Amino acid sequence: MSEVIQDSKIAKFQERLTKTTLGINGDVLAAAQNTLATLDFPTTRVERWKYTRVAKIANKTFTAARGSASVLNLPVKDAQTIVFVNGFYDAALSSTEGQAGVTVQPLSANVATEFIGKNLRTDNNVFAALNTVYATDGAYVHISAKTVVEKPIQIVHVLTGDNTIANLRNVIVAEKFSQAEIVQVFLSENATESFANNVTEVFVEENAKLNIEKLQNEAENNFHISNEHVKQAKSSHFTINSITLNGGLVRNELFIDVEGENCDTHLNGTYVLKGSQQVDNYTTVDHLFPHCESNEMYKGVMDENSTAVFNGKVFVRPQAQKINAYQSNGNVLLSDSASVNSKPELEIYADDVKCSHGSTTGQLDEEAIYYLRARGISEKSAKALMVTAFIGDVIDRVENEEVVNYIHEQLHSRFGWDF
Amino acid sequence: MIKIQNLHANIDGKEILKGLNLEVKAGEVHAIMGPNGAGKSTLASVLAGREEFEVTEGSVDFEGTNLLELSTEDRAREGLFLAFQYPVEIPGVSNINFLRTALNEIREHRGQEPVSAKEFMAMVKEKSALVELDAKLANRSVNEGFSGGEKKRNEIFQMAMLEPKLAILDETDSGLDIDALRIVAGGVNTLKSDKNATIVITHYQRLLDYIVPDFVHVLYNGRIVKSGPKELALELEEKGYDWIKAELGE
């Protein structure tokens, strides 16, 4: 039992927050509360937080205030959509029409209590602990065995207001042999210095196929921390594409435990930054069983004073033979003051595996830009052509055409790029 | 069409062009030959606007404009085309996408409407046939995985698509076998008209059997030291560059 800290920043942080009314298991809550009593916000002296200064968040007092939003532009027009504003369910903006065998409900309907906290360990994770103790609401998506979901399920969160904190908690369960696509969209409307603290727990059961397209698009003066904890059972397929289009300080912690043989895991991401944005992606894939494959590709483009972090960990445990695990991270810096920290990590304990990792960071090829200009293309258009080609690789992995169009549209309006 | 007067250019402090004079009129084909290091590629780079080269003296008048004052892209938009000796590969950027962007930026510069998708694809089909470039290659990334011959044919394909006033071919024949050479030359000859002009920079006389020049110039030590009709190329091939050096009294 660690020492209880006195006068911590985190104690002050919690002053204006209300404890959760969701039916969360007592032990889960206790563990989270213990973390908040014995740990403070991480400083840059903690290895995992070496590159992320959380002072912007830690030093503020946020309130969990309700808000209203209009959400006019959603990526998927024909989807089963559930909307949360500042972490509270908004029934009016959500569509209740669904398919048999598909449950899409807010957690506040007193559902999913046996799942909340099952995947997530809050021991060293202050933000996940905060979310657990103060969670207001979130989506519960449960797909019954053998159900093939026809329309995408769209989970929308909108951050609004000044200094608002939204502790959104989501649970996604894909039962045996089910197939579904989920689009998670994070937006903001008239939000300033607000903070979306998101936790999503995902259970992919045997032979299930689940695709998650995650779009982060909160305005540049807001913060977003996401903890995604996924467990895959044998013979399942799981893909998550994390597309970060905006956000002042964004940190994604993605944990995937591959707990069965014959699984397929795909994690792709792209982050496109300018101004003084910072986007950190920490991913962990843990291969616990043999005969599985994981494939990871993250690509980033940093302009102006922006900075990014990519830390990809892959564990292959001693009993996990015949694993194919591939990881690559590519970064393009468009300005002299942009920077990136890329740290691929492979910890391999089995001896009959194929694993690779690669990281590249550089500028756009000057010779190529000159060639394009020599054909009459302006320098700006030449750079746009090359950048879109670079991240196109990741965007190509998004299967939903409406989501791809939304991404193109957003990048066009923010950077002036055409695809 | 283009009048180069007393052009001096250097790179990294070393002077390469030392007072080059050249005049090319519409409808003409000029060949520029010379030993290695004479300044042939430098001339091409300077005309295309390569920023590593510094022009210290002289002028270049291109169709009434001061070429040296224009950016690289504006020179292309004014109708200058350089077929590179070593075309660069640009993975991920499709040939089609790149050409359409270029064509439309040139058209915008000339106050014309952008090309329609239908019109553009018809152009691609027609022009790629000119250099026997498989339509499949048109969909690939710019020069990625192309053989040497395919890269050179791709340069001429682009030339056919962009319809420049002045084309500068920088050692287009280097590394080509006789078949590729024939196709490239055939493309260039088909595109020739009395409204455009071509400067062919080459080290070997062989190309000039196919692209017959009106004038041949010898570039030596940064200047044009000898000019003549197409027979000069044959004489040069026979006697070698030492003959030129002897003539200059070296």
Q: What is the pLDDT of residue B92?
A: 87
Which site among B88, B110, B139, B168 would you substitute to test the A interface, given the most A Cβ atoms closer than 10 Å to its Cβ? B88
CA distance A51 to B27: 63
pLDDT on residue B87: 94
Residues 6+ apart with CB under 8 A from A81: A74, A93, A94, A95, A153, A154, A155, A156
For B50, nearest residue in chain A (alpha carbons): A370
Nearest to A375 among B76, B89, B109 (CB): B76
How far apart (Å, rounded) are the C-alpha atoms in residues A269 and A334? 19
SS3 state at A230: strand
CB A331 within 8 A of CB A341: no
The SS3 assignment for B115 reads coil
Q: Would you say A80 and A99 are in contact if contact means Cβ atoms under 8 Å apart? A: yes
B89 pLDDT exceeds 70?
A: yes
Q: State the residue for tokens 């490239």.
A: B184
Query: Sorting pLDDT into bands at 50, 70 and 90, what band is B218?
Result: very high
Q: Which residues of A touch B87 (CB under 8 A)?
A: 371
Q: What integer pLDDT is reported at residue B203 of this predicted model?
A: 86
The 10 Å CB-count burial string (b at 16+, else e) for B26-59 is eebbbbbbbbeebbbbbbbbbbbbbeebeeeebe
Say if strands A237-244 and A209-217 run parallel, antiparallel, or are unpaired.
parallel
Chain A partners of B48 at a C-beta cutoff of 8 Å? Answer: 374
Q: Which residues of chain A have pLDDT under 50?
A: none
Q: Does the CB of A376 have a partner CB in chain B at under 8 Å?
A: yes
A377 touches chain B (CB under 8 A): yes
Residue of A332, A377, A391, A395 to mutate when probing chain B, most B C-beta within 10 A = A377
Give A386 to chain B, closest Cα distance, Å: 6
Band of residue B250 on the pLDDT scale cut at 50, 70, 90:
low
Model pLDDT, residue A399: 92
Six token digits for residue A266:
């795909």
Q: What's the pLDDT band for B204 if we cut at 50, 70, 90?
A: confident
Distance, in angstroms, between A244 CA and closest chain B CA?
21
Does B48 score more than 60 pLDDT? yes
Q: Which of A367, A370, A377 sits opposite B101 (nearest CB)?
A: A377
> Given the structure tokens 């996408």, which residue do they identify?
B97
**Cβ-defined contact of B101 to A390 (cutoff 8 Å):** no
pLDDT at A2: 65
Domain ranges of chain B: 2-247
Rounded Cα distance between A232 and A265, Å, is 9
Least CA distance to A391: which residue of chain B? B92
The arrangement of strands across the sheet holding B29-33 comes to B80-83, B166-170, B197-201, B29-33, B215-220, B223-228
Residue B164 amino acid letter: P
| Chain B contact set for A373 (CB, 8 A) | 71-73, 76
Angstrom distance (rounded) from CA B188 to CA B180: 12
Taking an 8 Å cut-off on Cβ atoms, the answer to whether B90 and A370 are in contact is no
Asked if B90 lies within 8 A of A378 by C-beta distance, the reply is no
Judge contact between A213 and A406, C-beta under 8 A. no
User: CA-based diameter of chain B, in Å?
Assistant: 60
Classify residue A164 by its DSSP letter. Answer: B
Say what the pLDDT of residue A1 is: 52
Positive or negative, the CA dihedral A371, A374, A375, A381 is: positive
pLDDT at A138: 96
* A396 reaches B (C-beta below 8 A): no
- Encode pLDDT of B67-83 as tens digits: 999 999 999 999 999 99
Cα A256-A261-A262 angle, rounded to 5 deg: 95
Secondary structure (DSSP) of A380-391? HHHHHHHHHHHH
From B93's Cα to the closest Cα of chain A, the distance in A is 5
Token pair belonging to B62: 């291109």
Chain A: nearest CA to B163, how far in angstroms?
A: 11
Each residue of A135-184: pLDDT tens digit? Answer: 999 999 999 999 999 999 999 999 999 999 999 999 999 999 999 999 99
Determine the 3-state secondary structure of A370 from DSSP.
helix
Q: What is the dihedral of CA A371, A373, A376, A382, to 10 degrees?
A: 100
DSSP structure string for A115-157: TTTTS---TT-HHHHHHHHH--B-EEEEE-TT-B--SPEEEEE
Instruction: Tell me how close the Cα of A374 comes to any Cα of chain B, in angstroms.
Output: 5
A367 to chain B, minimum CA–CA distance in Å? 7
Tens of pLDDT, residues A306-350? 999 999 999 999 999 999 999 999 999 999 999 999 999 999 999
* Nearest in space to A276 (alpha carbons), one of A316, A249, A245, A237: A249
Place B99 in a pLDDT band, splitting at 50, 70 and 90: very high
Q: Which of A367, A381, A393 sits opposite B101 (nearest CB)?
A: A381
pLDDT above 70 covers what percent of chain A? Answer: 99
Q: What is the torsion angle, in degrees rounded to the nearest 10, for the CA atoms of residue A98, residue A104, residue A109 and residue A114?
A: 140
Residues of B with CB under 8 A from a CB of A: 48-50, 71-73, 76-77, 82, 84, 87-93, 97-99, 101-103, 105-106, 109, 141-142, 158, 162
Burial class of B2 by CB neighbour count within 10 A (0 to 12, 13 to 18, 19+): buried
d(CA A163, CA A165): 7
The answer to whether the CB of A227 falls within 8 A of the CB of A256 is: no
3-state secondary structure of A102: strand
- Of all residues in chain B, the one with the smallest CA distance to A383 is B93
Q: Are B90 and A365 in contact (CB under 8 A)?
A: yes
Residues of chain B neighbouring A360 (CB-CB closer than 8 A): none
Least CA distance to A371: which residue of chain B? B88
C-alpha to C-alpha distance for A332 and A339, rounded to whole angstroms: 9
Cross-chain Cβ contact B88/A371 below 8 Å: yes
Q: Which of A389, A388, A365, A372 is nearest to B158 (CA)?
A: A372
Helical packing angle, B117-130 and B95-109, nearest 10°: 110
- B48: closest chain A residue by CA: A374
Residue A123 has a pLDDT of 86
Residue of A nearest to B141 (CA): A389
SS3 B189: helix
Angle between helices A366-373 and A379-395 (to 10 degrees): 120
Amino acid B191: pLDDT = 92
Q: Do B92 and A374 touch (CB under 8 A)?
A: no
Q: How far is A395 from chain B (nearest CA, A)?
A: 12
Q: Which amino acid is at B119?
A: E
CA distance B8 to B222: 8
How far is A275 from B78, CA to CA, in rounded Å?
35
- Nearest Cα of chain A lies from the Cα of B45 at a distance, in angstroms, of 10
Question: Angle A123-A125-A128 (CA atoms, 0-180°, nearest 5)?
Answer: 110
A375 interface with B at CB cutoff 8 Å? yes
CB contact under 8 A, B92 and A368: no
Cβ contacts of residue B135 below 8 Å, gap of 6+?
Answer: B124, B125, B128
The CATH class given to the B2-247 domain equals alpha beta
- DSSP reduced 3-state for A414: helix
Say how many C-beta atoms besides its own lie within 10 A of residue B248's C-beta.
Answer: 11
CA distances from A207 to A144, A182, A232, A237, B72 (A): 12, 17, 9, 7, 57
Token output for A181 = 């696509």
Q: Give dist(CA B33, CA A396) in Å, integer.
A: 47
Query: In this predicted complex, what is the ipTM?
Result: 0.94
Distance CA A330, CA A342 (A): 9
Number of cross-chain residue pairs from A and B with Cβ atoms under 8 Å apart: 69
Cα separation, B233 vs B217, whole angstroms = 9
- Are residues B73 and A374, on separate chains, in Cβ contact within 8 Å? yes
CB A118 within 8 A of CB A45: no
- Distance, in angstroms, between B197 CA and closest chain A CA? 17
